[in-house]
Amino acid sequence: MQFNQLNLSPPLLKAITEQGYDKPTPVQEQAIPLILQGRDMLAGAQTGTGKTAGFALPLLQLLYDQPLPKKPHPIRALILTPTRELAKQVYESFRTYGKHLPLYSEVVFGGVSINTQIKRLQQGSDILVATPGRLLDLLYQKQVNLSQVQFFVLDEADRMLDMGFINDIRKVIKQLPGQRQNLLFSATYSKEIRTLAAQLLDDPVEVAVARENAAAELVSQSVYAIKKENKRELISWLIGDGNWQQILVFVRTKHGADRLCRQLIKDGIRCAALHGNKSQGARTKALEGFKAGKVTALIATDIAARGIDIDQLPHVVNYDLPAVAEDYIHRIGRTGRAGSEGEAISLVSPEEAHLLAAIEKLLKKQIPRNTDTGFEVVSLKVEKKAKTQPKPNQSRKKNTDYRGHKPKSDSRKRRPGSSERKQTRK
Ligand code: AMP
């Protein structure tokens, strides 16, 4: 199928050609005609599938089909995204695809001056891309009017729920007119997403481009089994030996991101950390440096990495495995985008074996192991739970041991407190 078979107007087709897009991606092929028909939609499209254009192009078309409103243009399409990076990116997509149309787009997100955003909104905008928190601030200050919204998109809805935005989303929905077209995009379908979809969508069509919870198909995945303390050296070596130029490295914590970044800089690797503690300015600088090739390795936490969109990002490394298996799919979705092949490598220590097992269960397959690390070979077999039951006076934290540490010594079991407590409980 070609873009010119999708009933899009010449100004949109022109912008698409200028972007160098050859033909629609599968999600675009499916979603664009249905959105143009005015249907509500539940779309299971993971990142990297071209889903943004999948909703931006038909929404621009639908807005363009209407008589041009008087200035200042009222907001007719609202797109909610979980993070500022994604909001900016979606906004840029609307600007790019809509550049030959007489329509305006704006974006609002937290962490930057609200006053500038208020001033820009006063000039009118047909499309508003927003993160929920800042949009609510603007609503409370009566600086944004959503009474003319006809098109509402929840982008990366699963992530919004993970980030605890459900109440904010509900508050925003309350401000919208009852008559509108709703689109819900989510990489994964949990029970909560299904519930939200049932409440929000009216007789929706379902569009799924990849199997639910399927990992991006173009990504080659592998696991390096390695001790935690050897990970840093291995990643340095991989970058140097492979002459990698652009790699996105995932770590679990902000602190871990900063520490790894410092260590890699010592190894001579140009590196920047991206996480929620950084100012918006620092985040933008890190991202731009990475996109421009000035930074080789971008070290990011899951939330900060959401919304990073770089074509043909060749390497993703999981320095730590994510605690939530589905995040693995989001992470590796950063590579193998827009039809190019990518490589996702996970450095997994024995302490993380159970996380790997959960990921492989979700993927329904085993990720190939690479034991040729040059370091001591370690086993990634999940340890069976200790046979001895935890004593009631041992806190769960001491015993559960998600890092895999064994209880300190047997002597603890014989501590007088344990048997005493047992008796008093009877
Ligand atoms: P998304 O899944 O929306 O994050 O898009 C992933 C990337 O695919 C973006 O960088 C888009 O610019 C690119 N893209 C979107 N549609 C197409 C297309 N039809 N052909 C080639 N690249 C595309």
CA dihedral sign of residues 14, 20, 26, 28: negative
Give the distance (Å) from ligand 1 centre to CA of residue 250: 22
Closest C-alpha among 374, 327, 380 to residue 349: 380
The whole-angstrom separation of Cα 64 and Cα 23 is 22
Banded pLDDT at 397 (limits 50, 70, 90): very low
Q: What is the mean pLDDT of residues 38-48?
A: 86
Check residue 72 and give its pLDDT. 96
Closest C-alpha among 96, 139, 100, 97 to residue 117: 139
Helix (H) or strand (E) holding 346: strand 342-348
Tell me the per-residue pLDDT of 322-379, one tens digit each, with 9 for 90 and over. 988 888 887 887 776 555 568 899 999 999 999 999 999 888 889 999 877 788 888 8
Closest C-alpha among 64, 93, 97, 99 to residue 79: 93
- What is the CATH class of 219-370? alpha beta
Name residue 336's amino acid: G
Q: What is the mean pLDDT of residues 276-280?
A: 75
Give the distance (Å) from ligand 1 centre to CA of residue 338: 5
The whole-angstrom separation of Cα 75 and Cα 145 is 7
Is there an atom of ligand 1 within 6 Å of 51 CB? Answer: yes
The whole-angstrom separation of Cα 97 and Cα 18 is 9
Q: Would you list the DSSP string of 230-291?
A: GHHHHHHHHHHHTT---EEEE-SSHHHHHHHHHHHHHTT--EEEE-TTS-HHHHHHHHHHHH
Is there an atom of ligand 1 within 6 Å of 82 CB? Answer: no
- Name the more confident of 165 and 282: 165
Fold of 3-208: Rossmann fold (3.40.50)
Banded pLDDT at 312 (limits 50, 70, 90): low
Give me 181's structure tokens: 């077209």
Rg of the chain on CA atoms, in Å? 24
Give the distance (Å) from ligand 1 centre to CA of residue 33: 18
Q: Are 52 and 90 in contact (CB under 8 A)?
A: yes
- Name the more confident of 41 and 310: 41
Give the distance (Å) from ligand 1 centre to CA of residue 288: 19
The whole-angstrom separation of Cα 426 and Cα 410 is 24
Closest C-alpha among 411, 239, 208 to residue 317: 239
Tell me the per-residue pLDDT of 44-87, one tens digit each, with 9 for 90 and over. 887 777 899 999 999 999 999 999 999 999 999 999 999 888 89
Q: Which atom of ligand 1 is nearest to the CA of 89?
A: 4
- Ligand 1 pocket test: pick from 25, 30, 155, 340 the residue with the most ligand atoms within 8 Å of its Cβ: 25
Closest C-alpha among 92, 91, 87 to residue 19: 92
The whole-angstrom separation of Cα 384 and Cα 387 is 8
Phi and psi for 304 in degrees, rounded to 5? Answer: -65, -30
- Ligand 1 pocket test: pick from 46, 311, 329, 335 the residue with the most ligand atoms within 8 Å of its Cβ: 311
Give the distance (Å) from ligand 1 centre to CA of residue 19: 10
Going from the C-alpha of 387 to that of each of 383, 384, 390, 396, 401, the distances in angstroms are: 11, 8, 9, 15, 14
Give the distance (Å) from ligand 1 centre to CA of residue 141: 36
The whole-angstrom separation of Cα 209 and Cα 133 is 30
The closest residue, in CA terms, to atom 20 on ligand 1 is 21
Q: Under the phi-then-psi rule, with left for phi > 0, alpha for psi from -120 to 50, and beta for the rest, what region is 221?
A: beta
Q: Which atom of ligand 1 is nearest to the CA of 23?
A: 19
Sequence spans of domains, the chain? 3-208, 219-370
Check residue 226 and give its pLDDT. 93
Give the distance (Å) from ligand 1 centre to CA of residue 49: 6
The whole-angstrom separation of Cα 403 and Cα 98 is 50
Is there an atom of ligand 1 within 6 Å of 307 CB? Answer: no
Is there an atom of ligand 1 within 6 Å of 18 CB? Answer: no
Class of residue 243 by CB neighbours under 10 A (exposed 0-12, middle 13-18, buried 19+): exposed
Helix (H) or strand (E) holding 421: helix 416-425
The whole-angstrom separation of Cα 268 and Cα 216 is 32
Give the distance (Å) from ligand 1 centre to CA of residue 38: 23
Check residue 417 and give its pLDDT. 34
Q: Which atom of ligand 1 is nearest to the CA of 93?
A: 12
Give the distance (Å) from ligand 1 centre to CA of residue 147: 31
How is residue 68 annotated by DSSP? P
Tell me the per-residue pLDDT of 172-192, one tens digit each, with 9 for 90 and over. 999 999 999 999 998 877 888
Tell me the per-residue pLDDT of 109-141, one tens digit each, with 9 for 90 and over. 998 999 999 999 999 999 999 999 999 999 999
Do the two domains 3-208 and 219-370 of this chain adopt the same fold? Answer: yes
> How many percent of the chain have pLDDT more than 90?
56
Give me 394's structure tokens: 């041992």
- Cα within 13 Å of Cα(320), Cβ side: 16
Phi and psi for 400 in degrees, rounded to 5? Answer: -65, -45
Q: Would you list the DSSP string of 76-100?
A: -EEEE-SSHHHHHHHHHHHHHHTTT
CA dihedral sign of residues 185, 186, 187, 189: negative
Q: Which atom of ligand 1 is nearest to the CA of 311?
A: 10
Tell me the per-residue pLDDT of 201-249, one tens digit each, with 9 for 90 and over. 999 999 887 543 445 566 789 999 999 999 999 999 999 888 888 899 9
The closest residue, in CA terms, to atom 19 on ligand 1 is 24
- Ligand 1 pocket test: pick from 3, 4, 17, 21 the residue with the most ligand atoms within 8 Å of its Cβ: 21
Q: Are 202 and 180 in contact (CB under 8 A)?
A: no
Q: Are 98 and 15 in contact (CB under 8 A)?
A: yes
Is there an atom of ligand 1 within 6 Å of 50 CB? Answer: yes
Give the distance (Å) from ligand 1 centre to CA of residue 197: 25
Q: Which atom of ligand 1 is nearest to the CA of 51?
A: 3
Q: What is the mean pLDDT of residues 156-162?
A: 87
